[in-house]
Structure 1
């Protein structure tokens, strides 16, 4: 964003400088040409005034010497023509008045028209400056005085002025660019702080706030509004967590009491009430597991404040060893593959509990004779932990719903569980700054991929 803002600012500054410099350059070039024209007009008018008595008396030697001296001193050709336009006096023997635009100016002067400034002589025009003045009195034109000035000096002066103007414009643009960098940083600092705070919230760090007091007033107001919103949301989230934790703790005591009472009632239950007794006992156990899962879920959302370095490969080895016996009893072959060391960033115990939840589901739902493989793969800046089973898998629609709290497939309603296993695993991995994806395995089965940031 800072780069785009700098480009926009410098583009506008360059447009303003161009809008000011181009007309100024045109004006400077026109002024230089006009000053040169006025100077040559004065010289030509002087020669015309001297040529009038010379042409009438025929005494032209003095005027010819002056024209040649003028040409030698300034390098400007000068000539005087008669009434018929033919050369009478010239400062150079090879001077040709028949070429354009000299001929047109001489003919205009012979008709009594005085010389006028026709516009700037730009550096890309190489013709000389021609000034022609009629010679005579009272409308009686008896000849023309002409000067032909080379434009090299004028072009050099104009180019130097333009180069100076361009240099000044580039200097202003450079100063503007240097000044724009700290200015844009100051303007965008609240935006970067907001982005950092938003990122912290996505990682579960609800205590982070945006520093106030920097940037433009509008962004300071946005910062204050964000902090107010963050404070209220953090309060609501904390209340929710506290409620879930408190409710689960409070329910565990009466459930334990009910379980103890049921155990005491067991010997007294008659044959016709055995089925009801067993159903109630199973429901009490199920409710106890549900409370434990709710407590785990509430803790999972609060673990992002402390992220540490863990060896994902070592954690995978440990959890596979723990679950190997349960997998064998269920007729599932559990194996471990991939790297033997993979440092990653995760909340304490988060990866352990997430793998427990994923392995529990894999062993439970893959079916007898299936295989479950846990693979650890470092991948650049990430570490991937794959839990792949060869069971029946799930349709794509069900995979998208699997992380929802208490969601269970219709075919799994009678299988033991709380419906929070994948939800807890997803919350733990998200709290660690990672991601849990449920994908179809090839040719069939379920592929659970845990992606954590690699430890530097």
Structure 2
């Protein structure tokens, strides 16, 4: 936009210069030509006053000496021609040239004549003037002077070069002024664009300086800051509400579960015990839902904090933690990791919770006899983790919606889960500047991929933060591409 503004100012300046300097250049050429032409007409008139005896008596008289001296002094050829166009007397260097015949036609008809009106730098024709020689009202002949125009062209060219230099200086001044003016006008817009990107990347405290630029843009910056304050406050209130509500509901839910559990001791009817067990399971499901909401609120609140973790060590820890559940469901769970540490830069507990969610999904949906493989390897300047399962997979439409909050595939509505696990994974990966992808596996199943950036610089020693662990979450379906 700055370039467009500068080009607009420059184009306007060039048009103004052309509108001003073009007529001025033509006027200068005409002025220089007119000055020389007036001098030649005066000289021709003086020669015409001396040419009468030469034409009547046939002798040059003093006119021949005048023309010779004139040619020697100024290098300008002149001639006296009678009414029959015969040259009566001429200077030594006189040569008829372009415009001579037309000049004689006018002069012999009793009129003064001169050509051209203006001498241009690219022309080479001389300045020709002709004056009639009169005697008692009778035209006896004419005086013709042909002046080389080299001197006029040099002076006109010098004037035009001066105008061009002035124009170039004016254009340079316009460009410098235009850059300064465009910078002053666009500085608030540039800062607004930068702050918008910072807020989009998670820095909700970024604001625009509202004391720069024109008044309209200063008001826009102030309005943007007010809007950002309101949006940030609303988001903080929303997250605080979710976190507080989830936390506060945990206490009465715990008390309710204890009371329901104690109530089961007095039940003797088998059907009543079955209903009692269902009530306990529902309280457990509600507790997991509250834990997931609290985890999500905390994950979204983690904006800029980063820690360096050993992804290989975290993956080994999570695979070991999920082994009992995998064996219980007759699922083979194994780890394929690189030898040595694989450091990644993430928000706290991002890898822990992401692997918990993906491994839980893979074990849950693989079924008895299924296989789940967790892979850790360097890739694309960072660390890539994959969780591959042999479950039923998902359709492309389901993959597109898998990270929506509380969304669950229709065929797994009765499977335990709250529909928030993959949402938490997506938030944690995005906050870590990572990537979450999902693709179909061959011949069946899904491959959930995580990528996290490597620390800069990557130190060889085990960094602080490796031991950070997050609670296991209970998600419900594979994820889609996020970030």
TM-score if structure 2 supplies the norm length?
0.85
- Are 2:280 and 1:281 equivalent residues in the alignment? yes
Equivalent position of 2:35 in the other structure: 35
Q: Secondary structure at the match of 1:213?
A: coil
Equivalent position of 1:21 in the other structure: 21
Q: Which moved more, 1:323-332 or 1:291-300?
A: 323-332
Contact 1:187–1:215 at 8 Å: present in 2 too? Answer: yes
Q: Which moved more, 1:425-434 or 1:414-423?
A: 425-434
Q: Secondary structure at the match of 1:301?
A: helix
Equivalent position of 2:355 in the other structure: 355
Distance 1:101 1:407 in 2: 96
Q: Please give the per-residue CA displacement for 1:348-370, whole angstroms capped at 9, x wherever unaligned.
A: 33343233323332333344434
Distance 1:7 1:53, change over 3 A: same
- Provide structure 1 residue ranges, at least 5 long, that are not aligned to the other structure: none
1:265-276 matches, cutoff 5 A? 265-270=263-268, 271-276=270-275
Contact 1:112–1:139 at 8 Å: present in 2 too? Answer: no
Equivalent position of 1:132 in the other structure: 130
Distance 2:377 2:265 in 1: 51
- Are 2:415 and 1:419 equivalent residues in the alignment? no
Contact 2:370–2:389 at 8 Å: present in 1 too? Answer: no
Q: CA deviation at 1:373?
A: 4.2
Distance 1:242 1:70, change over 3 A: same
Match of 2:240 among 228, 239, 242: 242
Q: Which moved more, 1:265-274 or 1:231-240?
A: 265-274
Distance 1:46 1:36 in 2: 16
Equivalent position of 1:195 in the other structure: 193
Contact 2:312–2:338 at 8 Å: present in 1 too? Answer: no
Q: CA deviation at 1:439?
A: 4.2
Pairs aligned (count): 450
- Provide structure 2 residue ranges, at least 5 long, that are not aligned to the other structure: 457-483
Q: Which moved more, 1:339-348 or 1:199-208?
A: 339-348
Q: Secondary structure at the match of 2:301?
A: coil
Equivalent position of 2:314 in the other structure: 318
Distance 1:446 1:9 in 2: 59
Equivalent position of 2:380 in the other structure: 379
RMSD: 2.7
Distance 1:250 1:219 in 2: 45
Distance 1:299 1:279 in 2: 30
Equivalent position of 1:52 in the other structure: 52
Q: CA deviation at 1:388?
A: 4.7
Equivalent position of 2:209 in the other structure: 211
Contact 1:259–1:281 at 8 Å: present in 2 too? Answer: yes
1:290-309 matches, cutoff 5 A? 290-304=289-303, 306-308=304-306
Match of 1:256 among 254, 262, 278: 254
Q: Secondary structure at the match of 1:403?
A: coil
Contact 2:401–2:407 at 8 Å: present in 1 too? Answer: yes
Q: Please give the per-residue CA displacement for 1:238-282, whole angstroms capped at 9, x wherever unaligned.
A: 111111111101110111112222332333332121221111111
TM-score if structure 1 supplies the norm length?
0.89
Contact 1:319–1:356 at 8 Å: present in 2 too? Answer: no
Distance 1:18 1:438, change over 3 A: farther
Contact 2:247–2:290 at 8 Å: present in 1 too? Answer: yes
Equivalent position of 1:432 in the other structure: 432
Distance 1:225 1:175 in 2: 35
1:164-179 matches, cutoff 5 A? 164-179=162-177
Q: CA deviation at 1:234?
A: 1.5
Distance 1:225 1:72, change over 3 A: same
Q: CA deviation at 1:451?
A: 5.1
Distance 1:61 1:383 in 2: 112
Distance 1:448 1:388 in 2: 6
Q: CA deviation at 1:344?
A: 5.4
Distance 2:21 2:455 in 1: 56
